């Protein structure tokens, strides 16, 4: 849901921006394109509106962490939108999402220079360590070679890059065709090679999407022990909608509310 929310406990702003439709736009479980901007004017205006709301919140609340989601890769946003966002990102922990093909030493270095964060966290939707699940079932279009390249890039950056950058993998669960053993194996493997895992519970938004399946208590316990976060995608802000967040112009989520990563 497009908009801005504030998490009191984490001193965190979550901004869901409008982007263009993701350049891949083929994953079987994804309908983020429904939140995409209808044209560039819509994209720019929404970006400016969201920036204003972030600034308002930053005047009123302590903010340590800013998470940006745009229904695709952050690197696909127009440079002027990214440059505008740099007004609020300096020396903050900044989180973005990206497909692997946008991740290169130069692209990350360039983004880092613009945003000037204290730390940049890049979340990558690998979803599974298994090529067959990733590409035949989910149609992610991410080969084993790309997974390996990103792992190597991360290693290189940890040693050579003058800045703080973390790579985190999303792992999908609760979807027809992905068994619990494979979810656990994916979490273990990505934990070995990246900076952590966020497990995301699949939600079926439309009839044509893959089926949701039940999740065992033992899997949930495993995920809670081994992941940075387990996103059950229950929060209102993750509802897919092109309309502005109805929680309010800049909803504030308090201590008692549970707000998971996306
Ligand atoms: S890469 Fe991400 S945004 Fe693009 S289609 Fe797949 S899940 Fe959706």
Residues 137-183 pLDDT 10s:
999 999 999 999 999 999 999 988 887 999 999 999 999 999 999 99
Quick check: 250 pLDDT over 90? no
Q: Cβ–Cβ contacts within 10 Å for residue 98, how many? A: 21
Residue 200 covered by a domain = yes
Residue 163's pLDDT is: 78
99 lines ligand 1 (CB under 6 A): yes
Atom of ligand 1 nearest to the CA of 25: 5
Atom of ligand 1 nearest to the CA of 29: 7
Residue 148 covered by a domain = yes
- Could you give the number of structural domains in the chain? 1
Residues 233-246 pLDDT 10s:
877 666 766 555 44
> What is the distance in A from the centroid of ligand 1 to the CA of 157?
25
How is 152-220 classified by DSSP, letter by letter? HHHHHHHHH-SS-EEEEEEEEESBTT--HHHHHHHHHHHHHHSS-EEEEE----STTSPPB----HHHH
Q: What is the dihedral of CA 111, 112, 117, 121, to 10 degrees?
A: 80
Q: pLDDT-based confidence at 1, cuts 50/70/90?
A: confident
Residue nearest (by alpha carbon) to ligand 1 atom 3: 72
Quick check: 46 pLDDT over 80? yes
In eight-state DSSP terms, residue 137 is I
Of 109-123, 149-163, 207-221, the one with minimum mean pLDDT is 149-163
**Mean pLDDT for the stretch of residues 3-32:** 96
Residue 161's pLDDT is: 84
Atom of ligand 1 nearest to the CA of 22: 4
111 lines ligand 1 (CB under 6 A): no
CA dist 22 and 39 (Å) reads: 14
Of 20-29, 159-168, 207-216, 249-258, the one with minimum mean pLDDT is 249-258
- For residue 208, report the phi and psi dihedrals to the nearest 5 degrees: -75, -5
Report the candidate in 211, 261, 27, 221 with the shortest Cα–Cα distance to residue 133.
Answer: 27
Residue 261 covered by a domain = no
Of 3-7, 82-86, 196-200, 253-257, the one with minimum mean pLDDT is 253-257
Residue 262's pLDDT is: 35
Residue 40 covered by a domain = yes
In the chain, pLDDT over 90 holds for what percent of residues? 86
Task: Check: CB of residue 10 under 8 Å from CB of residue 47.
Answer: no
Residue 260 covered by a domain = no
> What is the distance in A from the centroid of ligand 1 to the CA of 255?
31
Q: Which residue range is the domain that position 160 belongs to? A: 3-253
The enclosing domain of 104 has a CATH number of 3.20.20.70
Residues in the chain: 262
Task: Check: CB of residue 20 under 8 Å from CB of residue 75.
Answer: no
30 lines ligand 1 (CB under 6 A): yes
32 lines ligand 1 (CB under 6 A): yes
């Amino acid at each position: 849901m497009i908009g801005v929310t504030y998490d009191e406990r984490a001193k965190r702003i979550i901004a869901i921006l409008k982007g263009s439709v993701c350049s891949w736009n083929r994953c079987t479980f994804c309908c983020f394109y429904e939140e995409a901007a209808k044209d560039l004017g819509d994209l720019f205006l929404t970006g400016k509106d969201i920036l204003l709301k972030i600034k308002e919140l930053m005047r009123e609340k302590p903010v340590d962490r800013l998470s940006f989601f745009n229904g695709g890769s952050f690197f696909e946003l127009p440079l002027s939108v990214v440059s505008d966002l740099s007004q609020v990102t300096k020396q903050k922990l900044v989180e973005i999402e990206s497909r692997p093909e946008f991740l290169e030493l130069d692209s990350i270095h360039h983004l880092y220079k613009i945003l000037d964060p204290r730390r940049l966290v890049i979340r990558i939707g690998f979803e599974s360590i298994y090529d067959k699940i990733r590409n035949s079932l989910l149609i992610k279009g991410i080969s084993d070679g790309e997974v390996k390249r990103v792992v190597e890039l991360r290693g290189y950056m940890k040693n050579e890059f003058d800045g703080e950058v973390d790579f985190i993998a999303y792992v999908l669960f609760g979807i027809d065709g992905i068994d619990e053993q494979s979810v656990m194996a994916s979490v273990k493997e990505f934990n070995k090679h990246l900076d952590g895992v966020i497990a995301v519970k699949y939600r079926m938004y439309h009839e044509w999407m893959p089926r949701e399946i039940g999740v065992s208590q033992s899997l949930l316990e495993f995920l809670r022990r081994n992941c940075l976060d387990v996103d059950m995608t229950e929060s209102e802000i993750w509802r897919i909608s092109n309309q502005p967040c109805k929680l309010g112009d800049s909803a504030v989520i308090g201590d008692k509310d549970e707000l998971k990563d996306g």
